[in-house]
Amino acid sequence: MPVDLVQVLTGARVTALRRRSKYILADLNRGPSLLLHLGMSGRVRIEDERLGQFHHDASILPQHDHLVLTTDRGTRITLNDARRFGAVDLVRPGEAHPLLAALGPEPLGDDFTPDRLARALAGRALPVKAALLDQRIVAGLGNIYVCEALHRAGIHPRRAAGRIGRDRLARLHAQIRAVLTEAIAAGGSSLRDHRQASGELGYFQHSFQAYGREGKPCLRPGCTGTIRRIVQSGRSTWYCPVCQR
DNA sequence: ATCCGGACCTGGTCGC
DNA sequence: TGCGACCAGGTCCGGA
């Protein structure tokens, strides 16, 4: 956490909220932007004094509350992160921030094209699963949506990233976009902690075809496979050994 | 340069 | 009830 965080934030007004990859950015009416990452277990709690939601004094921090912002309208915004894998930082105007500098294209943006994906993967020997988790290749995919996109595209997670044919790469590109679009529409995937900004649970977890389904039948129409779990660079991968090649 | 394994943390669940 | 093993939605770093 930057040493001048309190000085920068005190009295500042948030003029815009943005997102880049998995980073939340709050632009201020002066100086730097506030950068947040929720890591694996981070959450933002928003409470309103007028609704009686201040259950404790701001000087007494409940466990794993790391940052408390209080507005002059009686709203309290708290960053809670049990595992502390998240990040809080300031981004100076015009700065190439180290956490943002190397990020690849937004998967739902215009510059994420099948061609660009092909160029990023060309010649690479690492498993396509690992490549899609690399935020320099495409920014914003995590374990769930990589598993789901590979299953939908019928591509084996261990396949070398540079050895996927053009047509199948186009299918992968399309399925990355499709799964993200559907998941966003469903409010995300609530496994444990995730909530929508409204506080409602997301419900895309009910649409998983692969993630977390070890030993269950593959849901691709006509496929008789059983979902298997393997570990790749320390992360679980779920896939169907019959229809993912 | 590329790839992989380990490190960073805490908490929940499960089997004994 | 207690205890250890294992698992978790992410990312960075160092060694091979």
Neighbours of A164 (CB within 10 A): 21
Residue A195 has pLDDT above 90, yes or no: no
Q: What CATH code is assigned to A114-239?
A: 1.10.8.50
Q: From residues 156-195 of A, which are strand B contacts by CB within 7 A? A: 161
Nucleotide closest to residue A84 (CA–C1'): B9
The model's pTM is 0.96
Q: What are phi and psi of A46, to 5 degrees?
A: -120, 120
- Where do the CATH 3.20.190.10 domains begin and end in chain A? 5-101
Q: How far is the CA of A192 from the C1' of B12 (A)?
A: 10
Q: What is the four-CA torsion angle of A194, A196, A200, A202, rounded to 10 degrees?
A: -60
Residues of chain A with CATH 1.10.8.50: 114-239
Whether CB of A234 is under 7 Å from strand B: the answer is yes
Fold observed for domain A5-101: N-terminal domain of MutM-like DNA repair proteins (3.20.190)
- Determine the average pLDDT of the residues in A204-217: 97
What's CA A35's distance to the chain center, in Å?
15
Res A85 pLDDT > 90:
yes
Nearest alpha carbon to residue A237 among A148, A152, A134, A164? A148
Residues comprising chain A, all counted: 245
Determine whether the distance from the CB of A84 to the nearest atom of strand B is below 7 Å: yes
Q: Which nucleotides of B are covered by protein (CB under 7 A)?
A: 2-11
**In this model, does residue A58 exceed pLDDT 80?**
no
In this complex, the answer to whether residue A62 has its CB under 7 A from any atom of chain B, a nucleic strand, is no
In this structure, of A16-25, A44-53, A81-90, A101-110, the range with the lowest mean pLDDT score is A44-53
Quote the pLDDT of residue A135.
Answer: 98
Q: Is A123 left (phi over 0), alpha (psi -120 to 50) or beta?
A: left
A124 touches strand B (CB under 7 A): yes
Task: Catalogue the E-assigned strands of A38-192.
Answer: 42-48, 65-70, 75-81, 87-91
Distance of CA A181 to the CA centre of its chain: 13
pLDDT single digits (tens) A145-158:
999 999 999 999 99
For residue A192, the model assigns a pLDDT of 87
* pLDDT tens readout for residues A108-138: 999 999 999 999 999 999 999 999 999 999 9
